[in-house]
Every structure is written in C-alpha cells, then in structure tokens.
Structure 1
Amino acid sequence: MPGTLHLVNDSPYSFIRDEILRLETKHSIPIEVGGPVPKSINSKGWVYILSNPYMPGLLKVGMTTISPEVRAKELSSGTGVPAKFNVEASYFSDDPRGDEARIHTDLAKYRVNNGREFFQCSVATANEVCRAYCLCESRSSLEELANEYVAICVDKPIKVELHQWFEEFNIPSIGCKANVARIIFELGCMRLDEINNDGISLLIEDGQLCGVMTEAHQNFLAYLEECHDRDKATGIYGPLEPVGF
C-alpha cells in the first residue's frame, strides 16, 4: 500500500513524508526514501581499494569478479602478509578489468612498482579516480544512486523477446515490431522524465517497480521544513508565546 513503507515512516521530516504521499498518488507507484544498495545489483565485478596496517601509506587498487571482501581475505591468507587487508572502498563496475587499467593509468605517478598494484596515495585520491570510471561505490545508498541514475535495476539480465512482450502486454500491432517498440520506448521515456523531474528515480527489484526519492530532493525538502519551523517559532516580531487551549 502506498504510504506504508517503513523507511518512509521513519523519515523525521513531515515535508518528505507528505511529498512522497503526494507523488505516490500522482504517479501510482510506491516510493521509498532510500536504503542500502542491494548486493544483487547487476554488475560484472568490482574495483577495490585495500589497505594494510603494516603497509602505512600504501594502497592496493585492483579488480575482482568475486567480491572485495573475499579478495581481501584471499590476499590476507598469504604467508608473506603480516596482517589482513582492510577494504577501504569498493565500486561496482560493468568493465572491472578495463576500469582497473584506466584507474591504474590515472594513478601511475603514485605507483611504487610497475609490476605491483600498490600506490602511495591517500584513500581520498584513490576514491576520486575510482568514482570517475566505475558505476558507484558499493556502500552507497539508494538515494545517493538516485542522484545520478534515473533507473536502478538490481535484477539479473533478461533476453529481449519482442514478440513475447507484445503478447504479454496485449499490444496488437502490424508491421515491424522493433519500430513499434521504439515508439513505445520513447513514450516511456516521456513518462520517466516526468517522474524524474519530481525528484524520483525508478528501482526495479524482484520484478517489481517502485520509486526512490533522490538525496538532493530530500535535502531540499528538509531544508524547506527547517526554514518553515524556524520562521514559525520566531515569527516576524520575535519569539511567539506558546498557545494554550
């Protein structure tokens, strides 16, 4: 039911809750204020940044198709490693090997050995370069992701079956279905623009559709409410006295 989502009700700002209720009615989809990015988000791997307490000032920047945590554990199990590696950050990537190469190129001046993936730089520097190439940080929130993407899909890829989709959605048509599908796509993009202009991105998870209010729009509404409450408390001519009943 729209308006009953736990995360929405947990928002401390009534302006955000009221706006979500309004937009749920307007767009006929449930809307959330956010949460962690699901680990099932579709990507081909990760780029990671690792540190080690016995290697101060050095970071290992590499890629994996398993998981950053598993990769850090693998590296930590070597007999030549005095302490375990810590995952400072990791990023989802659609091209982990290519992104890794591009990131290594940008960090070349910090590289301590061309045959090793270690760099003498700050975590902030490594993060800045990784953000330039990868999809998003794995520790990002959905509302942060919604700032950058109009649609977020965490489901596994599916094969495009135009004929099946035309039957499934009961779309009688004649002629080239690809051309018809393109027009339908354009109409859908117009609807998507309308939703996104209201500060909402779409989330597809487990075959279900809902909206996520962007972090930027939430911050704006929170700012408006704080201004409203401050003006209400002080009034034009100074602090207002509590009103009794």
Structure 2
Amino acid sequence: QAAKLLMDRLFDVQAAGIGPGRLFLLLPAAGWSEMSVSSLEEGLKLIGAQVLLPSMDQCEAVSDRPSARFLAVLVGNSAQVLSAATRVNTSMQDLADRSRLWEAHFADDGDAGGLACEAAVPSSLHTVVANGGSPGMSDAPMPRINPGLRSTSSGGGGGQLTAPEQQEQQQQQQTETTVTEERQQQEQQKQQQQQQQQQQREREQDDQQQQHQQQQQQQQQQELQQREQQQQQLLQQKKNRRHQDEQVQRQQQEQQQQQLQQEQQQ
C-alpha cells in the first residue's frame, strides 16, 4: 500500500494523471543482462508496461567497477509501473541469491559500506530527472552516471517532453489503442461465435422437431392404413359368409323341390 501511495505521488508530480508516466531506476550494471532478457520484456508488455534500457556497449563502457550503474526507465500508468518495478526488484533479488550481485554493486565509489544487496536501489538515488527536477521533487544531485547513459529528458525542466519522448509516448498510446481494438475485435468475434453456436443449436433443435413430427405423421399414416386394411378384411369376410349362406339356402330349396316332385310322381 505504501509503494502504491508513493507511486501515485510520483505520478501526481509528473502531472501524468491516469496516463503514462515514468519511473527511473538506477541499477547495477551487472544486472543489465537480466533486465535485457526477452522473457522479462514480454512479461512487462503483458501488464501494459514498457522498459527502456541503454545498449550493451554503453553498459560495458562503465562496467569496470562494481559500483557501475545503468539507467532503466519504466513507462506506463501507476499500477503498471508499480507492477513492473516489483518484477525488476524480484529479478535483482534473484541475481543476489545467485551471488551475481553483492553489497559492492549497491555502493557509490568511495563509500565504505553501502546498502545490502536486498535493496532495489542505492540510498543516494533521488527521484530527479538528470540535471534538474520538478516542483515538489528532491533537488539532491543524481549519483554518478556515465553521460552516455543519461535519459533523453536531460536538461529539460518543467516536465516538458523531448521529441524522442513525445514519439515514444505516441507509440505507447498507439500500442494501447491497438491492444484495445484487438480486444474489441476478439470480443466481437467471441460474440459472433456465440451467436453462430446459438443459431446452430436452434437449427438442430428445429431439425429434431421436424424429424419427430415426420416420424409421428408416418406412424399415424401406418396406423390408419392398418385400420383400413382390417376394415376391408372384415367386409370381405362378411361378404363371403353371406354368399355361403345364400348357396346353402339354394341347395336346400332345390332338395325340397326334388323331394316334392318325387312324392307327386309316386
């Protein structure tokens, strides 16, 4: 919570508001390789932050002593910069745990002691932009930095941005706009896919209902045909019986007539 309040105060001094601001980190030159790995840069991009580093040649030019430093600039909004600074601190602590950084890396030339390796930055580091500062910020001098490593905002008082910084800010804004547009497109595609899936499910349900109705109609037709066949069979049986009865009656009548004739002849 204290770190967040400090970061918010820093952004207020920069008049950054909720927009992109900067945090300058003065780090041991021995940690440059850890800061320049692609995995850390990609991790910062995922949270929306950006890190600006000097070149390897610039670092090697001043790496002849343990207290050599390089300037890293974190760019983003307050929450992004705070998260990025936490990751940088974790990387530096990892180097210290692996004995690649020690107390001398955090001490100025001529210091007898310096800070322990757990510290993220040396105690002499002040939140000042190179040769000046902004109202409300410390006016103490910056620790010794090779001129080739100074920020491009050197000599620019009053919080004004230089041309490279303005271009960088525009690129950051364009990146944020692009990310926002990509997210909107992904959301639209997701909604379209959901609509298509819903429509597909509705079509499948309609097809199933139609098939069920067709099956019911076919079954009803079959039952109707069976009933008609049964009725026809019953009618035919009745006709056959009537015909048989008529034949029997005729035969009986004929027999009676024959008997009568015989009796008359006698």
Relative to the length of structure 1, the TM-score reads 0.23
Larger helix proportion, structure 1 or 2? Answer: 2
Q: Which has the higher contact order (CA 8 A, sep 6+)?
A: 1
Q: Which has the larger radius of gyration?
A: 2
Larger strand proportion, structure 1 or 2? Answer: 1
Relative to the length of structure 2, the TM-score reads 0.22
